[in-house]
Chain A
């Protein structure tokens, strides 16, 4: 596969949320507003890019038996870095994402890409793979967040778009709305894939 394909596959064909169904916990929890979704997506993309690069660089020196703990330490280092940077420069975002920033460590996408891709491929390809997957994750998160924020509050990125007559569907920004919106999105992408296959 060529380098551009490695980058592009994360966006749609192997989109972590809609197609591979990985990392669903943060997708549900941080999609209640577009700001949270983009913040979470950026944090995860950064961690994914860095961990993929490092894992790929050290892949020949890592003994096969203890590779998973080593990957986890690499990932946890970058998550700590992200967490502290976010606390310092974007305290409001860090507060609203809460426990989900340190929880990027156990996000299955990151360990999944380290194990399935970066441990076997060259540094450049791993970087592109990490970047593509991260952007695909951010894209999926934003799509869910746009629907939830727009219909749930009548705002987008905190800016009111509808007139004062708009009655927000409050349920969409509450926890049930996350499950239902994401469920319908995954169903939609299943349908789309079936249509394309025909």
Chain B
């Protein structure tokens, strides 16, 4: 385990391949929640929290149940060859994520009403946020750029959440000012938010020149 690898994963996911500006993941909540700074921070924190948990749980589910070389089913079959269940990835992940979000919501509600008040309304929205499923799938994808081990997966989940929060907060700051700007009527609302996002994406393209390896 090298600390340098983890550092590269974080910088890549937050800046170079920012999940909103370079990969277009999580655009729906990004447009819906980025109107106010407070709700942007709340949503960002909830996404980071769920992403870290989901990265851990889906990684374990994939490697313990689906992947034939590490699956527990090896011990059940006499020939020590487990069936290749990796084709069930999408279904298993979405169910695991949906139940995880539901479970986290109940636990927070029970043990920390203050935190529930801050994050509560954002949690149900997160199940259908494509960032969560995308990070889970990328973590276990055979692509050599990913194919992470357990610690790397959690780091990747955390960094993806930080990148998403960064985009949300930057955008909320700009949109609070856009309210007062003289914008042509048909472009008000979502269209101008997209054009702003495009300009921000140009700024983030500057990070693609970073050579980390």
Contacts and interface: CB of A to CB of B under 8 A. Distances in A.
A binds B: yes
Interface of A: 21-22, 24-26, 28-29, 69, 72-73, 76-77, 79-80, 83-84, 99, 102-103, 105-108, 111, 171, 174-180, 182-184, 186-188, 190-191, 194
Contacts of A186: 190-191, 194
A25 B90 contact: no
Interface residues of B, number: 43
A103 B134 contact: yes
B195 A25 contact: no
Given A180-B195, A186-B194, A106 B91 contact: no
A183 to B, nearest CB: 3
Interface in B156-192: 184-187, 190-192
Given A111-B128, A183-B193, A186-B190, 15 more contacts: A25-B24, A76-B91, A102-B133, A103-B133, A174-B201, A175-B24, A176-B201, A179-B194, A180-B194, A180-B195, A180-B199, A183-B192, A183-B195, A183-B197, A190-B187
A84 B133 CA distance: 18
Given A29-B24, A176-B201, A69 B195 contact: no
A138 B120 CA distance: 35
Interface string B22-35: 11111110010000
A72 B27 contact: no
Q: Which of B22, B138, B191 has the most CB of A within 10 A?
A: B191
Interface in B21-56: 21-28, 31
Contacts of A183: 187, 190-195, 197-198
B74 interface: no
B202 A171 contact: yes
B192 to A, nearest CB: 7
Contacts, number: 118
A191 B89 CA distance: 43
5 contacts: A25-B24, A106-B129, A108-B128, A176-B199, A194-B185
B133 A184 contact: no
A186 B204 CA distance: 23
A191 B194 contact: no
Most buried by A among B26, B91, B95, B137: B91
Contacts of B94: 72, 76, 105-106
In the A-B complex, list the 5 residue pairs whose CB atoms are closest, starting with the nearest: A183-B194, A179-B198, A180-B198, A187-B191, A191-B186
B205 A25 contact: no
Contacts of B134: 99, 103
Contact of B130 (A25, A179, A188, A190): A25
A176 B88 CA distance: 34
B205 A176 contact: yes
A72 B101 CA distance: 15
Contacts of B137: 99, 102-103
B31 A24 contact: yes
